[in-house]
C-alpha cells in the first residue's frame, strides 16, 4: 500500500540524500501474550522517501520486536536486516544469527542496545555493534554499577545481491562495569568513520568509541558537566552533528546539552534544562526523547498529571526552555530517519494495542504549530511504547573543506577481505611522557602520529614489534592524537586514538 502525504521542509546543511541506510525500519511488535495480535510475530516495516512514508509492509518474524531493536536498509532505502535483542534477521524474516544472552536466575537478560553501521556508500560491508549484560554479586552498600558487566560485541556482515554473509561473529570489543544506557552515534567529519557514545553511571564520563575500517576502539572520556552518579539515560546527536543531548531520567529529570566536535570527538559548552517541575515522577517518566530535525525542540513522553492511565507528548523549546503539551494519549516519540517528522504510537483506549500513528508534520515549530495529526496512518500491528527503535544518521556527510581526515579515505574500498586482523596495543592511554607499543604487524612498521587537525607531528620506521617513544613525544602539546601503524608491502594499517595529558 502506498501512502502519499507530501510536504516541504528545508533540508539540514551537510546532509546528502543518497545514503538511506536507515530509511526502512521496524515499527512495533506482535506478541499474542502481550498485545493480543494474531498469527506469527508480524512486525510493520515502514519505508520512507524524502518527503513522506512510502509504504508500510508486514514481515513475519519468529520472535517479537520490543525494546532496543535496530535495522538497516541499502542506499536506496530498501530494508535489509534487523536485530531484536536476540536474533539477526534478513529482509524476509529469516534468522541469520542467534546471539548468546546472559542468565540471572530464571530471568533472561537480552542485549540492551545495538546499532548498524556502514562506513561508506559504495561498500557492501555492514557492522552490528551490540552488548550483553551479566548480573554479578556485589556486597551490600556497593554502587549499583557493580551489579552488572557490559560486554560490547562487533559482528561484520557482507551483502551481495541482497544476500547476507556473516564475516565475523561477536568479536568482543570491551568488557566493563561502568557503561549504561543506549548507544548513539555521529559521523566523523571525514564522512566515513563513526563516533559512538554511550552513557556511564558517572555523568561526567562517557564511553566513546571510534569505528574505522581498520579498528574500533572505546575509551572512557571525561567531559564538562556535573560529576553525578546516575542511571544510564539516553543520548542523541543533533541531525547536523553539532550537539549531543543527554537525558537523566527518574528522580533527576534533567537534559544536558553539549557542543560536539566531529573532528576530535570532544564535548564542550555544557548547559542544562531542568524538567523536574514539568514531568511528574512518580508515576512514570518516559526516558526516551527525540530532537526535532533542526534540534530546536525536544519531544518526550510523560504521564498525564491530572488523569490516571493517560499519557502525553510534550515539547520543549531548547532556546527558551518553554514546555508545552502537544498531543494526548500517545507514547514514545521517534524522529523518522528521513529527518522530516516526529511520530509516535496513538492509543485511543488505554492499554490496548497501538494501531495508529500520530505525526508531527512541522516538528521544528513551537507548540500547536508543530502540526500534530492523529490517526494519519493505521498500523497493522502494535507500536513501540517503551523505547524507540535505534538507528544511526547515515544522511550526515563529511564537513566540506575539513582538515581532520586523520585516518585517510581509501580510493580502493575492497579493504575488508584483504586486510588481516592485527594486534595493536598502545599504553598508557591517556599518557604523559612515555608511549609504549606492542603489535604483531609484519615488519618493517611505519609509524605516523597526527594531531586532531590532521597535521603530521611524527613519522618513524621500526624493525621490531615492541618499542617505546619518550623524547619523541616530549614536545607534544596536551590533546588528542591519532597513531597509525602501517606495513606498506603488505598493505596493512591500524589506527588508534591517543590522548596526551599535562
Predicted local confidence at residue 194, as pLDDT: 93
Residues written for the chain: 502
> DSSP of 77-126, one letter per residue?
S-EEEEE-SSEEEETTS-EEEE---EEETTEEE----EEEE-S-TT--EE
Predicted local confidence at residue 286, as pLDDT: 60
pTM: predicted TM-score of the whole model, two decimal places: 0.75
**Structural domains of the chain, ranges and CATH numbers in brackets:** 24-378 (2.130.10), 425-500 (2.60.40.3080)
Q: What residues have CB less than 8 Å from 465, skipping those under 6 apart?
A: 438, 439, 440, 441, 443, 445
Query: 343-352, long-range: CB within 8 Å, 24+ apart, which pairs?
Result: 344/301, 344/313, 344/383, 345/28, 345/379, 345/382, 345/383, 345/384, 345/385, 346/374, 346/375, 347/311, 347/385, 350/309, 350/310, 351/309
The series of mean pLDDT values per 10 residues for the chain, 502 residues long, is 27 44 80 65 79 80 79 88 87 85 50 83 84 61 54 87 84 75 87 88 80 83 74 83 89 88 89 87 72 94 79 90 87 86 78 75 94 79 72 85 55 36 77 88 89 81 91 88 81 78 83
Predicted local confidence at residue 269, as pLDDT: 92
Q: What whole-number distance in Å separates Cα of residue 154 and Cα of residue 173?
A: 7
- Hunting for cell 546532509 — which residue is that? 15
Q: What whole-number distance in Å separates Cα of residue 304 and Cα of residue 87?
A: 35
Predicted local confidence at residue 11, as pLDDT: 27
Amino acid at each position: 500500500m502506498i501512502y502519499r502525504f507530501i510536504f516541504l521542509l528545508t533540508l539540514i546543511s551537510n546532509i546528502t540524500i543518497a545514503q538511506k541506510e536507515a530509511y526502512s525500519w521496524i515499527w512495533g511488535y506482535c506478541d499474542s501474550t502481550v498485545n493480543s495480535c494474531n498469527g506469527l510475530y508480524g512486525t510493520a516495516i515502514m519505508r520512507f522517501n524524502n518527503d513522506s512514508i512510502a509504504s508500510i509492509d508486514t514481515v513475519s518474524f519468529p520472535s517479537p520486536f520490543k525494546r532496543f531493536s535496530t535495522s538497516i536498509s541499502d542506499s536506496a532505502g530498501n530494508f535489509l536486516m534487523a536485530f531484536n535483542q536476540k536474533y539477526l534477521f534478513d529482509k524476509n524474516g529469516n534468522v541469520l544469527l542467534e546471539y548468546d544472552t546472559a542468565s540471572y536466575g530464571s530471568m533472561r537478560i537480552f542485549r540492551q542496545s545495538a546499532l548498524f553501521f556502514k562506513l561508506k556508500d559504495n561498500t557492501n560491508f555492514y557492522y552490528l555493534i551490540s552488548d550483553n549484560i551479566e548480573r554479578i554479586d556485589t556486597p551490600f552498600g556497593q554502587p549499583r554499577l557493580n551489579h552488572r558487566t557490559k560486554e560490547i560485541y562487533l559482528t561484520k556482515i557482507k551483502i551481495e545481491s541482497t544476500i547476507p554473509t556473516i564475516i565475523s561473529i561477536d568479536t568482543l570489543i570491551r568488557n566493563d562495569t561502568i557503561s549504561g544506557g543506549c548507544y548513539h552515534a555521529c559521523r566523523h567529519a571525514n564522512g566515513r568513520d563513526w563516533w559512538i557514545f554511550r552513557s556511564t553511571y558517572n555523568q561526567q564520563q562517557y564511553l566513546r568509541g571510534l569505528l574505522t575500517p581498520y579498528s574500533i576502539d572505546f575509551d572512557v572520556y571525561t567531559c564538562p558537566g556535573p560529576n553525578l552518579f546516575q542511571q544510564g539515560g539516553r543520548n542523541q546527536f543533533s541531525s547536523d552533528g553539532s550537539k549531543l543531548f543527554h537525558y537523566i531520567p527518574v528522580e533527576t529529570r534533567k537534559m544536558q546539552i553539549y557542543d560536539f566536535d566531529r573532528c576530535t570527538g570532544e564535548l564542550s559548552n555544557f548547559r542544562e534544562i531542568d524538567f523536574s517541575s514539568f514531568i511528574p515522577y512518580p508515576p512514570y517518566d518516559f526516558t526516551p526523547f527525540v530532537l526535532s530535525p533542526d534540534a530546536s525542540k525536544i519531544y518526550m513522553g510523560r504521564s498525564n498529571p491530572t488523569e490516571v492511565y493517560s499519557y502525553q507528548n510534550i515539547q520543549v523549546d531548547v532556546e527558551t526552555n518553554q514546555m508545552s503539551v502537544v498531543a494526548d494519549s500517545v507514547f514514545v516519540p521517534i524522529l523518522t530517519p528521513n529527518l522530516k517528522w516526529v511520530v509516535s504510537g496513538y492509543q485511543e483506549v488505554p492499554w490496548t494495542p497501538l494501531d495508529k500513528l500520530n505525526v508531527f508534520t512541522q516538528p521544528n515549530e513551537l507548540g500547536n504549530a508543530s502540526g500534530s495529526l492523529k490517526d494519519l496512518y493505521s498500523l497493522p500491528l502494535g507500536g513501540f511504547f517503551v523505547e524507540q527503535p535505534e538507528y544511526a544518521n547515515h544522511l550526515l556527510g563529511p564537513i566540506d573543506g575539513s582538515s581532520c581526515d586523520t585516518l585517510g579515505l581509501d580510493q580502493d574500498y575492497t579493504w575488508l577481505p584483504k586486510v588481516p586482523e592485527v594486534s595493536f596495543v598502545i599504553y598508557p592511554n591517556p599518557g604523559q611522557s612515555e608511549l609504549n607499543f606492542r603489535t604483531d604487524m609484519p615488519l618493517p612498521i611505519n609509524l605516523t602520529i597526527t594531531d586532531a587537525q590532521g597535521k603530521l607531528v611524527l613519522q618513524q620506521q621500526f624493525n621490531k614489534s615492541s618499542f617505546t617513544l619518550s623524547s619523541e613525544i616530549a614536545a607534544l602539546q596536551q590533546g588528542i592524537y591519532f597513531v597509525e601503524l602501517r606495513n606498506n608491502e603488505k598493505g596493512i594499517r591500524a589506527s588508534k586514538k591517543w590522548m596526551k595529558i599535562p
